[in-house]
Chain A
């Protein structure tokens, strides 16, 4: 247990670890509580590295493999720190033919990251999606919860400036 705690404290504050333990404690006796625990843990810790998954597995008396399987299955969960803002570029058919690809390339160049990665300053996490159901607005870029339609490479920098 001590070894496990030390591993956690490399990445998180004692307060965060205490909160994680509180979440585990609260769900401990309820079967089928892995997903809510992971969800709440990610709210507190922002991401779920191996040390956190082990803590949760041991706390809920589940094999590590089960926790890892669930964390990697759901795109909501992440094992690496995320940026303050999430950018999603649509590469569905409509957006793609209307210039989505160029937007994606421009973003990768500007941010210096590839799909699924986070910028070093943890400002942005960059992802692509296949169709957001807003084809009429294509090409579409979604930053956090804001939809930016008819995006052009030239407009990108200005848009990003609104997200610090």
Chain B
């Protein structure tokens, strides 16, 4: 590419031709405000007009996020004309936006607030639109709430839903001032193909998309003296929760997280990592069984509920490829109300299971009709990382100064293999460690399986497992990448034995319930923290060596894939298809 020289606010910069004004300004040390642009997702529709700049010789102001520079171009980003225009644009947006900032879920992390401050809005000169809630707030989904009143029309959610996840539920509909972002036929979200991943929430610059908040229900359970409330936390929480309290991304806060949960009043603080290890033992044995007995291959992981719903909608013909293992969250719920109830001598009717998940789809999963194998609703309430942070703040807990505490027995102990479930490739790596042992009776030569780590969309690896021979595996994260592998299977071209799919980019550390902002960079840092937990913090790195898991089999389950396992730890799937409206039973 040819280099061109442009002058931005009297600063000369040399950039490749075709570079946008926005990028060139960045190179000159100038941050132009934008609202609609989501650069990581390649989404620069140039429609919010906040990023306008003045180019000499151009009659109109240009949208800097899309306007390409040319040699010798003179650009002004802080002239009076530019500043007035930006303010006007933001004032118009504010006039059409509910003024609920103080109690909005995005208060303090709202990009509209930040941009309004940045462009120096001091007043809104226009009369405000009335905001009837009627028909504008969609609370139908157990996972994601849509508040059309707050939408600023940036279309980032549409891009992530369509291009990254290839679910394509959301679309702009109607036009002009009547334009709204809605699911097809303006259906409630619960009646669509929405997989509840919540990536739209992470993409939204304002409070137009957010998780269904279940904090009050959890407070209520904690207040109820007749209830014994136990809590589990997914791997990805410990790698991200610190961000909510000002710690840098990638800070591992396992001990503080446990301490905070205890202070909130949970009777027992267990760990989803424990059932992650259990999942590996069950799933590893299932894989070995399928290989030995000629079962359906490739077998695909089933821990990610957004992925499961995606498969039920778009690949209902391939559901028998999915492992029958429940996710660690659901295994935990089923065991808490059976194994733990028995262990502690507590009536399971009085046990309340709360999950802390990086995930909005987990809220959906917990209320799937079949998830009550303990005789009760296995998991009662699911909170996202963000909701837990809100509870901790509400309780006035000084998170960063908490001491490190340990989880409770008998469902709190975990290994390095369990903790890496939270990163893309982690389940594959953990499963291979144990499958190798189950088949060969030996420990793998190296427990680090580097080719399945990292943020590449589809990863492949192969390894020798004597006496089976060469085993080929694949890992996908983000549903667009999963689709590539599923299409291969449909065409009969997938020669893999085992596939891991995680719904969200980066795996659970990039889940729709994680702290905002969640970018590719924060995803990588959170994953890094989990690999540190695996290799440096945990002494045991193979799931089948978890002493608490061994005890669970000895005292309760008796054997992997046995009768009790089958009843409590395995599940079935629902072919849903795409012919919405789909009504839940």
Residues on A close to B: CB < 8 A? 3-4, 50, 53-54, 58, 63-69, 72-73
- A63 closest partner in B (C-beta): B168
Instruction: Identify which of A4, A58, A68, A73 contacts B185 (C-beta below 8 A).
Output: A68
Interface pair B174/A73, CB less than 8 Å apart: yes
- A1 closest partner in B (C-beta): B579
Known: A53-B184, A58-B579, A68-B171. 11 other contacts (CB 8 A): A63-B168, A63-B171, A65-B162, A65-B169, A65-B171, A65-B183, A65-B184, A66-B168, A66-B171, A69-B171, A73-B173
Can you spell out 29 A-B residue pairs with CB atoms less than 8 angstroms apart? Answer: A3-B579, A4-B579, A50-B185, A53-B185, A54-B579, A63-B162, A63-B168, A63-B169, A63-B184, A64-B184, A64-B185, A64-B578, A64-B580, A65-B162, A65-B169, A65-B170, A65-B183, A67-B184, A68-B171, A68-B173, A68-B184, A68-B185, A68-B186, A69-B173, A72-B173, A72-B174, A73-B172, A73-B174, A73-B175
A58-B184 Cα distance, complex, nearest whole Å: 13
A30-B184 Cα distance, complex, nearest whole Å: 23
> Which residues of B are found within 8 Å of A58, using beta-carbon distances?
579
> Which residues of B are found within 8 Å of A3, using beta-carbon distances?
579
- Interface pairs A-B: 10 shortest CB-CB: A63-B168, A64-B184, A65-B171, A69-B171, A65-B184, A72-B173, A68-B184, A72-B174, A73-B175, A65-B168
Residues on B close to A: CB < 8 A? 162, 168-175, 183-186, 578-580
A4-B581 Cα distance, complex, nearest whole Å: 11
A58-B578 Cα distance, complex, nearest whole Å: 9
Q: Label chain A's interface by main secondary structure.
A: helix
Q: Label chain B's interface by main secondary structure.
A: mixed
A127-B356 Cα distance, complex, nearest whole Å: 53
A68-B580 Cα distance, complex, nearest whole Å: 13
> Which residues of A are found within 8 Å of B170, using beta-carbon distances?
65
> Which residues of A are found within 8 Å of B171, using beta-carbon distances?
63, 65-66, 68-69
> Which residues of A are found within 8 Å of B168, using beta-carbon distances?
63, 65-66
> Which residues of A are found within 8 Å of B169, using beta-carbon distances?
63, 65
A64-B170 Cα distance, complex, nearest whole Å: 10
A64-B578 Cα distance, complex, nearest whole Å: 9
A40-B156 Cα distance, complex, nearest whole Å: 32
* Smallest CB separation, A60 vs chain B (Å): 13
> Which residues of A are found within 8 Å of B579, using beta-carbon distances?
3-4, 54, 58
> Which residues of B are found within 8 Å of A73, using beta-carbon distances?
172-175
> Which residues of A are found within 8 Å of B174, using beta-carbon distances?
72-73
* Smallest CB separation, A6 vs chain B (Å): 12
* Smallest CB separation, A70 vs chain B (Å): 9
> Which residues of A are found within 8 Å of B578, using beta-carbon distances?
64
- B174 closest partner in A (C-beta): A72
> Which residues of A are found within 8 Å of B175, using beta-carbon distances?
72-73
